[in-house]
Amino acid sequence: MDNPGESRGRVVRLAGHGREPLAFTLDGIAHGALSGDTVLTAVLAVAPALRGGDPREGNRAGFCLMGACQDCWMWQEQGPRLRACSTPIAAGMRLLTRPPGDWP
């Protein structure tokens, strides 16, 4: 049974449910993930896309999951951009689907 939070997401968890929960934010809203998740898994468990807003590019949700296509880059409120498929989620991450205000 999906909980209301997960029903907005894209991925379905098939195993490994009993893991340590941890908290992150996406566009300022608090969400939960499980330790061992990549950023991509954690975000797509609660949202349909990793990145959006650029009309030319549309929304992006990753494509190859092996670091080759570069489709899954995301922004953080502070710090460098990250490749969601190959970055483990960490407690307290503050992720953005759009560039922060000071992005050129």
Partner 1 sequence: MTARPQVVVVGAGPAGIRAAEALASAGLVPLVIDEGERAGGQIYRRPPDALSRPPAVLYGSEAGKAVALHATFDRLVAQGRARHWPRCAVLAVAERSLQVLGPEGVSTVRFDRLVLATGATDRLAPVQGWDSPGVYSLGAMQVALKAQAVALGRRIVLAGSGPLLTLVATQLLAAGARLEAVLDTASLADQLRGLPDLMTRPSLTVRGLAMRARLARLYRPGVRLGAIETDARGPVAVTWHDAWGRPRRSPCDAVGLGWHLRAETQLAELAGCAFDFDETWRQWLPRGDAMGRGAEGVYLAGDGFRLRGADGAELSGRLAGAACLEDLGLPVQRTAADLAALSRVSRFAQGIARAFPWPRDMVRQTPDGTVVCRCEGVTAGMVRAAAAHGGADVNRAKSLGRVGMGRCQGRYCQIAGAEIVAAAAGHASPAQAGRLRGQAPVRPAPVAAIAGPAAAVDPLQGDR
By CB under 8 A, name the binding residues for partner 1: 10-16, 19-20, 34-38, 41, 44-45, 48-49, 56-71, 73, 80, 85-86, 88
What is each CA distance from 95 to 13, 77, 89, in whole angstroms?
A: 21, 6, 10
Q: How far is the CB of 84 from partner 1 (least distance, A)?
A: 12
Which of residues 10 and 94 has its CB atom nearest to partner 1 in the complex?
A: 10
Query: In terms of DSSP bridges, do strands 21-26 and 73-76 run parallel, antiparallel, or are they unpaired?
Result: unpaired
Q: How far is the CB of 73 from partner 1 (least distance, A)?
A: 8
CA 12 to chain centre: 14
